Structures are given as structure tokens and as C-alpha cells.
Amino acid sequence: MSQYDSSLFIHSTSKGIVLLLLYVDVPKASLAAVQEVYNTSRRDQFLMKLRPEFEVVRAKLKTVEMWESLMADYT
């Protein structure tokens, strides 16, 4: 196992597939911020994959997150 955290990015197009394996050294002080960005990205990817008939659910999920963010800022 490497001392670095790794990530694999895959981009597929009609002309082919691009693979990028990225190694980064993340300081412990920055780990929480990196994990938050990762979790937000995963949530956004999930929401983008929802079918159109779930638009109401998608909007409600985004609204809940917005309120949680606002409440965290003012508490």
C-alpha cells in the first residue's frame, strides 16, 4: 500500500475511454474538507442520475441540504 491516497477517474466518450489514476498526499488538517467535497460530489452524482419523474424528490433533497447548511452557519 502506498503512503498516498489514490483516486481513479474514468471518462468515457464515443471516441474512447480516458483513465486517470491520481495519487495525492492529503495533510490531516485538510482531510475533513476533502471528505466533505467528496461526499457532496457523490450526492450530486446521485441526484444527476435520478430519472425525470423524481424531480420533486431531487428538489426536496437539495432544499434539505440548503437548510442544513444555513443552520450550521448560524448556530
Domain hosting 30: range is 5-74
Flag whether the pTM goes above 0.95.
Answer: no
What confidence score (pLDDT) does residue 23 get?
73
pLDDT in tens, 31-68: 888 888 888 888 877 777 777 787 787 788 778 777 77
Strand segments, DSSP code E, in the chain are 5-13, 16-24
Residues 57 and 43 sit within 8 Å (Cβ to Cβ): no
Total structural domains within the chain:
1
The pLDDT value given to residue 70: 64
pLDDT-based confidence at residue 24 (cuts at 50, 70, 90): confident
Residue 1: pLDDT band by 50, 70, 90 thresholds?
A: very low
